[in-house]
Amino acid sequence: MLEIKSLSQFNALKSSSSLLIIDFYATWCGPCKAISPVFGRLSTPHASSSSAGTGIVFAQVDVDKAKDVAQTCGITAMPTFQFFRGGKKIDEVKGADVQQLSTKVGYYIGEAEKAGNTSGSGSSGSGSTSTEKKTIGSLRSLIDVEKGRLVNATLLSSVRNIASPPPAGYSLASTGTPKLLIHIPFTTPIIPSSITIRVAKGSDLTSAPSRLTIGSNVPVTIRKLEDKKTGEMKDTHDLDMDSSMGKAENEQAFNVFSDEFVGGEVTLKLKGSKFGKGVKSLLVRVERNLSGEEGTVTKIGEMDVLGVKA
């Protein structure tokens, strides 16, 4: 991890990097030590650019050793994470808030990657977009609960539970096997930055998802058919555990380990290069859980999609 030791080094990095993310910490700070491994994992894909001091750069500042840097940045609590773009501070996270840190890192990296992919294509050159000015938050209120569908889920599970988590028990659970397919449509296009998953209350980590794939804009056909025995109209759909993900515009796979569930919650960062445009629906396929056993069902206490409107 790149360590900033002087004000001149800090100023140089602000100028040379497309995105600078700094962890302000103290060696005696307990919360700093607790969240440090998370910051380390977030920085791993950008280790080479961080070492070079260009592109997307992750760095740390020991507030006791680089007091001039900490004072310049107005640091009053540890840990504090600050984000810089174009030489200016654009955001910060105070405290060891794993979800907020992961969400904002994912969002700003996605924006930086998108800006890098479109630079020189006739844009204004400022690197800013309208979405950058929006605040990242929960998109639960935009979930179209009437059109959401599940595959291999219990009767108590529903997409409505994602939009409005129940006060007890679980929102989603599989039946018989760990596999679970979740189709989440939205009432308006979105730009998702991450998905958070919380362990079901009263359940241990073994039932939590460990291998997942997330896809965008999978087409789903829903029809109403009459039950010949009862005469009731029932919904049918063409979602399939094995084949539906192959219809996704983009997809991203995740392998989640038990130590990534901090306080019973894990954040899955979505790549801006895959999910940075208008997304009308997400498809989440859980393939395995932390038990590693085919006969153990998956349980999800809460799930949330974070991002902005497109």
Q: Is 73 assigned a catalytic role?
A: no
Report phi then psi at 249, rounded to 5: -65, -45
* Length of the chain as a residue count: 310
Closest of 21, 66, 71 to residue 43, by C-alpha: 21
Q: Where are the beta strands (DSSP E) in the chain?
A: 2-3, 17-25, 55-62, 80-85, 88-94, 137-138, 149-151, 172-173, 180-198, 209-216, 222-226, 233-237, 251-255, 265-269, 279-289, 299-300, 302-309
Q: Is 32 assigned a catalytic role?
A: yes
With a CB cutoff of 8 Å and minimum separation 6, the contacts of 215 are 245, 247, 248, 249, 250, 251, 252, 282, 283, 285
Catalytic residue among 1, 29, 205, 220: 29
Helix (H) or strand (E) holding 123: none
Catalytic residue among 32, 172, 181, 197: 32
Distance (Å, whole) CA 3 – CA 218: 43
- Structure tokens of 221? 């056909």
Are 275 and 108 in contact, with CB atoms under 8 Å apart? no
- SS3 string, 152-191, reads CECCCCCCHHHHCCCCCCCCEEECCCCCEEEEEEEEEEEE
* Catalytic residue numbers, as ranges: 29, 32
